[in-house]
Amino acid sequence: MAGFRLQPLIDFAEERSKSAAQALQRMRGQWMQAEEKLRQLEGYLADYRARLSNAASGGMNVGSMLDFQRFIAKLELAIRAQSEEVVRCRDHWEVAEQHWQEREREVKAYHKLRERHNLEVQQKENRREQKQQDEIAQNSALKRTSEDNSSSK
């Protein structure tokens, strides 16, 4: 079967798709890490709020209460920042997913072209073989006719 002239493009498209899939995987990992860090911060906040509540119910000085409140405020600020990071990571993942899907469509299109090419080559080969068979059959019939004419003389 004849080689497919666009094979280098298929190879290139497949490499681009593979690279896009790897980038997508990295983005997913970053997104998951960002979400895990957010969950940790939320856990710390819940823990410190519980500590403050317990300490306040047992009686605590104003300085300690202010320290707890300042730390909780910093945790809340960190949670807001981390929530924004989670959104940013998710957005980057979505862009990477779209890019990967585009690369996959490109690969599939090239594969379809290769399939059509291979089918055309196979059909041409089949027609060539059929033509040869027809010629052999025709030559054989002519030979028999010629032999029949020669033997009847």
Residue 13 contacts residue 110 (beta carbons within 8 Å): yes
Kindly report, residue by residue over 20-42, the tens digit of the pLDDT.
999 999 999 999 999 999 999 99
Full-model pTM: 0.71
Helix (H, G, I), strand (E, B) or coil at 91: helix
Extended beta strands in 1-153, E state: none
In a domain, 31, yes or no: yes
Domain count, the chain: 1
CATH of the domain at 106: 1.10.287.1700
Tell me the Ramachandran region of residue 59: left when phi exceeds 0, alpha when psi lies from -120 to 50, beta otherwise: left
| Residue 1's pLDDT band (cuts 50, 70, 90) | very low
In a domain, 51, yes or no: yes
DSSP count for the chain of H helices, then E strands: 2, 0
